[in-house]
Structure 1
Amino acid sequence: MYLWHWPILIFALEVRDMSEAGWKTGLAVIGGALSLAFLTKKLVEDPILRARASSRPRNRRLALALSVTAAIGVSCVSAAGVIAVEHRAEVDRVAILAAMSSDCFGARSLAVDAECDGELEETAVFPSSPYDDVSPLFDAECSTGMTGTEIKQCVWGDPSSETRIALIGNSHAAVWMPAYAEIADRYGWRLDTYFKHSCTFNNASRTQSDDTWRTTCDEWVSDLTAFLAEEEAYEYVLTSAIAQNRAFRDPDTGAESFNAGVQGYESAWQPLIDRGATILAIRDYPRTTLELIGCGVKTPHTPCSRSVEEATVDFENEVLAVAADRVQGAEVVDMSNWFCADGACPVVIGNVHVYRDAGHFTETFGRSLSEPLLHELKEQAGFPDPQ
């Protein structure tokens, strides 16, 4: 069962172009796995065990042959699933590249002058499976794990550019990389990324219950601060964080403290500001639920959304926003109007799945945010026009 169920499930989902199995598909997968497990037991495993117990060389050769045959069988089914996944991903990539030229693609459909109703009606929604639509910044070579401390610098855009920009923070900052990277490409700038899971760029100690997560985050921030002091100065540093995160420790009492978090951001940013950087603090984007994401997958042209009140946090309750509002050299950038319209925050916008899980938006939607992000950086943060 262990060997057979997963490749059969993956193959079934890809053949039927589904992101999750319904009860009928689920029963079929279980039935197929049980049948193959039974046959493998009777025709492969039992004969191998009997042959291995035999002292006759012929039987041992039979055992080896059966083992190889069983391995090839499982591998073939697994390979078929992988090929199907890769084929669908390639089809997605081609279709997305073609769709991206439209003014109605993803977040761009929410622009004031966009006229998209007719164009979007009953057409394809990308990607076909949002759950795996993840930015390359999340790859191991560019991200530090929750228990790691290594400083991983990844370079995007033009590595030789004299103008350097940076993206620093946890996954809620990392999701902005596709949009920010396209801006860097447009400007001909260099973009450096520094990303650690579940760790904001903040000097205040954390109050997470897991000691390893807390201590490695503190160490990573300290090491990164020292590393950046030796690097060439940046002109812009983009960062973001989970709005609900208030897990910062008061240095005197050890209790959770909103103000300690604010001060932690201020002290982390100041050395970069002193060297000429402008901090671009993007307010956290609206959040959704797994149930709504599933609704958007099953019925993408039916509104599946949360209200703005449910999906967002008020400004005065968001540590990062309050900090950026206080610090000279930092700018607050609010992108919520590119996720929500008419009081609702849907999970499909401009024929693009917005979210891959309850807390992160998809790479495809992130790419559609490049023009809106550039617009808001100019309007809200005085970002320069491209040269």
Structure 2
Amino acid sequence: MGAIAVQHRSVVRPDRKAGYMHEIDGVRGIALTLVMLFHVFGNGRVSGGVDVFLVLSAYFLTRKLLGFFDRPEPEGARKRPGVWLRKHFIGVSTRLIPSAVIVLAAVLIATWLWLPATRYLQTFREVFASALYYENWELISSQLAYGAAGPDSSPVQHFWSLAVQGQFFLVWPFLALALYGVFARAGAGRSTFRRVFLGTTLVLTVASFVWALVLVGADQTVAYFNTFSRFWELGAGAMIAFIPASVFAYGWVREAGVWVGLAMILVCGFIFDGAREFPGVAALWPVGASLLVLFGATRGAPDGWAARALSVGPVRFLARIAYQLYLWHWPVLVFTMRVQGETTVSWGTAVFIAVVSFALAIATERIVSTVSRRSLGEWSWPRAAAVPLAPLLLLAVTTVGWAELVDRQRHVDLAAAAQLSPEQVGAGALLGATEPLNPDPDVGFLPTPTSAFIDLAPIYNKGCIQSHRDEPGDGAVLVCDVDDFGRERTVVLTGGSFSVQWYPALRRIAEQQHWRLLVIEKDGCRLTTDQTGDTCSEWNSDVVRTIASYHPDLVFTLGSVVSFEPGTPEEIPRGMIEQVQRLGEHGIEVVGIRGTPKFPFNVPECLVEHGTDMSACSLPRTSKLTPDFFGTLAADLPTNFHIIDLSDALCGPTRCEPVVGNVLVYRDDGHMTNTYARTTEPALLAALRGVAPQLFAAEPAQG
């Protein structure tokens, strides 16, 4: 949104407005074009252009606010902030929202045409979040990472920066008005208000920068999207607005500042990997470059080579369509890659994406600017307000309604999966079979691909599974003590999501055998000593002590690691063995279950795309599971470590299929669905009886 807020100054000719900053149009157009070029030709690399917009948008909004407060009113008249706010928000939203609605509506249509149904709901949520300017928080909530563009990238992921700027644009005027009401109206005077406003901006900026450094070190992905860790970039631009215009008198130092700042912007994407380093210390580079340009830009008539060079027609044209170009280029990139099935962009494809993005940007800008000029210049404020609000409301209602239908159907599918028919036997089709059994084409499989991703082990609904993130507090060991079926036997389930996926079967066994089942889990974190430098290391340093405090009869965890990377052999990392040995020092027996196969694609999405062609979504068993893997390692394992291998309940003798016994096996590229995991109970029970007979030797009496 901030990129837009300053964009429309470009349609004002240099001689029409005193204090007009000619260099800013050029820098804005160049920086936005760099964003597109790096995304399209650089396979998603970050250019730093967004950081430039954060600074510029905050500068212009703050300058506009200070101009309102400093403007003298006729004697006896009082300032009318309500009128100013109404004009301000109608003006900004009328210029910005229609373009965003056009692009978001196009994304919905493209989603229906080209994305698999498994992606519908998340895309709808993000479109809605983008329309209401909280996409950055939606991305944090949905745990998406900002990486290189690919066919699985969100088509509206780039709206995160507009959300950050939009939140600033919404809150900042009210903060200024609150400070003005407290100090200026209390008789302290406008000068006191300016000092307090500046001091508040400085404190908030410093606090945000410190928080950004902390959060980048803890969880850079969250820091990248977080409004509070990004505010310091906005605050830096806002503080420049407090410097009196007289300080910016033109001179060769100012001219040099513009050229140096522009050069820094041009090379930023080549020097820094912003997707991995921003908004930490590295972001000082694009922010500092923006401040140099602001400090050196002329006010009023163009003076100097920089002002003339950066206000020529082609550069001003780039500035005029910059916002629309930013909106269009990312979805065009993502959907083009999706349709072509590419994970990288060739130069020919990149040129096509750039041309289409420019064409759509030009058309959108012309349509919106024509409507905006008429609504703001000729219509009453209620009619003008309807220009952005009516299409926004229509988009929101459409998105929410469509998402509700999809979500309702998913839950209907899961309810059906909870009551499998006699023909839907899952792992039972493989147990004892010599060849994998193909599902009867007349009997559908469950869960459906569109509902598979949310078919999780129910323990995740209890709120006691530790987050995979690396934010402060995420290294604490949490205990899920919700399945107490008897106290004579205690079993602990731990070791990451690939262990917890067995929870549905293990819980049923615990209920039948009257065990107390504890789940002590941090997602993405195996029971190991070789994951260091993050909260997983912190969690592992305390988890053995926590487990031992419950005096369990058995710990159930992951026994081997199957890699997602092709050609990487299955292994038992030394760090896992060391944790097993530590448990052994407390007299605790450990059962490790073999890792499940990892697919090079999302299995439910593959099924949506290939329909009844199950073979297209299967893989050779030996490509992931090493024959006689544990037989060669048995002598080297700790005496308290017992391995069970249920790969025969997942794969046939030669292939690992996506659907077994009319039940969908995988909910993503490697985790079992909750529905299929339930069908593995007989195999898991038999395996546990073989390696841990002490759990079954003397079952406690009922009642």
State the TM-score bracket (shorter-chain normalisation): 0.7 to 0.9
Following the alignment from structure 1 to structure 2, what is the Cα–Cα distance between the partners of residues 280 and 290?
A: 29
Residue correspondence of structure 1 range 272-291 to structure 2 within 5 A: 272-290=583-601
1:142 aligns with 2:494: no
* Pairwise CA distance, 1:283: 1.2
Following the alignment from structure 1 to structure 2, what is the Cα–Cα distance between the partners of residues 92 and 72?
A: 30
1:182 aligns with 2:508: yes
* Pairwise CA distance, 1:335: 0.5
Residue correspondence of structure 1 range 144-163 to structure 2 within 5 A: 144-147=467-470, 148-158=474-484, 161=487, 163=489
Following the alignment from structure 2 to structure 1, what is the Cα–Cα distance between the partners of residues 559 and 104?
A: 40
* Structure with more strand by fraction: 1
Equivalent residue, structure 1, for 2:30: none
Residue correspondence of structure 1 range 38-53 to structure 2 within 5 A: 42=367, 47=371, 51=375, 53=376
* CA distances 1:31-55 after superposition (whole Å, capped 9, x unpaired): xxx99xx899958x8656754x45x
Residue correspondence of structure 1 range 159-178 to structure 2 within 5 A: 161=487, 163-178=489-504
1:133 aligns with 2:455: yes
Alpha-carbon contact 1:333-1:381 (below 8 Å) kept: no
Q: CA distance change for structure 1 residues 173 and 94 in 2, over 3 Å: closer, same or farther?
A: same
Following the alignment from structure 2 to structure 1, what is the Cα–Cα distance between the partners of residues 372 and 511?
A: 59
**Counterpart of 2:518 in structure 1: which amino acid?**
D
* Pairwise CA distance, 1:334: 0.4
Alpha-carbon contact 1:158-1:189 (below 8 Å) kept: yes
Following the alignment from structure 1 to structure 2, what is the Cα–Cα distance between the partners of residues 317 and 109?
A: 25
Following the alignment from structure 2 to structure 1, what is the Cα–Cα distance between the partners of residues 408 and 635?
A: 44
1:384 aligns with 2:696: yes
Q: CA distance change for structure 1 residues 374 and 48 in 2, over 3 Å: closer, same or farther?
A: farther
Q: Which moved more, 1:365-374 or 1:283-292?
A: 283-292
Residue correspondence of structure 1 range 12-27 to structure 2 within 5 A: 18-19=117-118
* Pairwise CA distance, 1:118: 9.9
Following the alignment from structure 2 to structure 1, what is the Cα–Cα distance between the partners of residues 514 and 387?
A: 59
Following the alignment from structure 1 to structure 2, what is the Cα–Cα distance between the partners of residues 183 and 49?
A: 70
Following the alignment from structure 2 to structure 1, what is the Cα–Cα distance between the partners of residues 385 and 486?
A: 57
Q: SS at the partner of 2:444?
A: coil
* Pairwise CA distance, 1:160: 7.2
* CA distances 1:274-329 after superposition (whole Å, capped 9, x unpaired): 545321100112333327665544334644532221131355589xx948962222
Equivalent residue, structure 2, for 1:254: none
1:336 aligns with 2:654: no
Q: SS at the partner of 1:331?
A: strand
1:85 aligns with 2:410: no
Residue correspondence of structure 1 range 217-228 to structure 2 within 5 A: 217-228=536-547
* Larger RCO (CA within 8 A; separation ≥ 6): 1
The correspondence for 1:313, drawn from 626, 638, 656, is: 626
Equivalent residue, structure 2, for 1:237: 555
Following the alignment from structure 1 to structure 2, what is the Cα–Cα distance between the partners of residues 282 and 8?
A: 44
**Counterpart of 1:102 in structure 2: which amino acid?**
P
Alpha-carbon contact 1:7-1:77 (below 8 Å) kept: no
* CA distances 1:134-159 after superposition (whole Å, capped 9, x unpaired): 33455675232142413232234237
Following the alignment from structure 1 to structure 2, what is the Cα–Cα distance between the partners of residues 6 and 222?
A: 46
TM-score, reference length from structure 2: 0.43
* CA distances 1:48-79 after superposition (whole Å, capped 9, x unpaired): 6754x45x8x7222233344323321221221
Q: CA distance change for structure 1 residues 63 and 278 in 2, over 3 Å: closer, same or farther?
A: farther
Following the alignment from structure 2 to structure 1, what is the Cα–Cα distance between the partners of residues 696 and 642?
A: 14
* Pairwise CA distance, 1:240: 0.6
Q: CA distance change for structure 1 residues 127 and 226 in 2, over 3 Å: closer, same or farther?
A: same
**Counterpart of 1:359 in structure 2: which amino acid?**
G
1:4 aligns with 2:100: no
Equivalent residue, structure 2, for 1:110: 430
Following the alignment from structure 2 to structure 1, what is the Cα–Cα distance between the partners of residues 672 and 526?
A: 18
The correspondence for 1:97, drawn from 418, 429, 439, is: 418
1:68 aligns with 2:389: yes
* Structure with more helix by fraction: 2
Q: SS at the partner of 2:520?
A: strand
Following the alignment from structure 2 to structure 1, what is the Cα–Cα distance between the partners of residues 437 and 594?
A: 29
Task: State the structure with more CA Rg.
Answer: 2
Following the alignment from structure 1 to structure 2, what is the Cα–Cα distance between the partners of residues 196 and 9?
A: 37
Alpha-carbon contact 1:281-1:333 (below 8 Å) kept: yes
* CA distances 1:10-42 after superposition (whole Å, capped 9, x unpaired): 66799xx94479x9xx99xxxxxx99xx89995
**Counterpart of 2:105 in structure 1: which amino acid?**
W
Q: CA distance change for structure 1 residues 11 and 344 in 2, over 3 Å: closer, same or farther?
A: closer
Equivalent residue, structure 2, for 1:31: none
1:374 aligns with 2:695: no
The correspondence for 2:611, drawn from 279, 290, 299, is: 299
Alpha-carbon contact 1:143-1:195 (below 8 Å) kept: yes
Q: CA distance change for structure 1 residues 296 and 379 in 2, over 3 Å: closer, same or farther?
A: farther
Alpha-carbon contact 2:601-2:669 (below 8 Å) kept: yes
**Counterpart of 2:674 in structure 1: which amino acid?**
E
**Counterpart of 2:654 in structure 1: which amino acid?**
G
Q: SS at the partner of 2:534?
A: helix
* Pairwise CA distance, 1:195: 2.4
* Pairwise CA distance, 1:202: 1.5
Q: CA distance change for structure 1 residues 46 and 295 in 2, over 3 Å: closer, same or farther?
A: same
Following the alignment from structure 2 to structure 1, what is the Cα–Cα distance between the partners of residues 103 and 522?
A: 33
Following the alignment from structure 2 to structure 1, what is the Cα–Cα distance between the partners of residues 386 and 373?
A: 13
Q: CA distance change for structure 1 residues 160 and 189 in 2, over 3 Å: closer, same or farther?
A: closer
TM-score, reference length from structure 1: 0.73
Following the alignment from structure 2 to structure 1, what is the Cα–Cα distance between the partners of residues 620 and 108?
A: 39
Aligned residues: 349
Q: SS at the partner of 1:357?
A: coil
Following the alignment from structure 2 to structure 1, what is the Cα–Cα distance between the partners of residues 599 and 625?
A: 9
1:268 aligns with 2:579: yes
Q: CA distance change for structure 1 residues 118 and 196 in 2, over 3 Å: closer, same or farther?
A: closer
**Counterpart of 1:134 in structure 2: which amino acid?**
L
Root-mean-square deviation (CA, aligned residues, Å) is 4.3
Q: SS at the partner of 2:478?
A: coil
Alpha-carbon contact 1:109-1:349 (below 8 Å) kept: yes
Alpha-carbon contact 2:426-2:676 (below 8 Å) kept: yes
* Pairwise CA distance, 1:124: 0.7
* Pairwise CA distance, 1:178: 2.3
Q: CA distance change for structure 1 residues 80 and 343 in 2, over 3 Å: closer, same or farther?
A: same
Following the alignment from structure 1 to structure 2, what is the Cα–Cα distance between the partners of residues 60 and 160?
A: 69
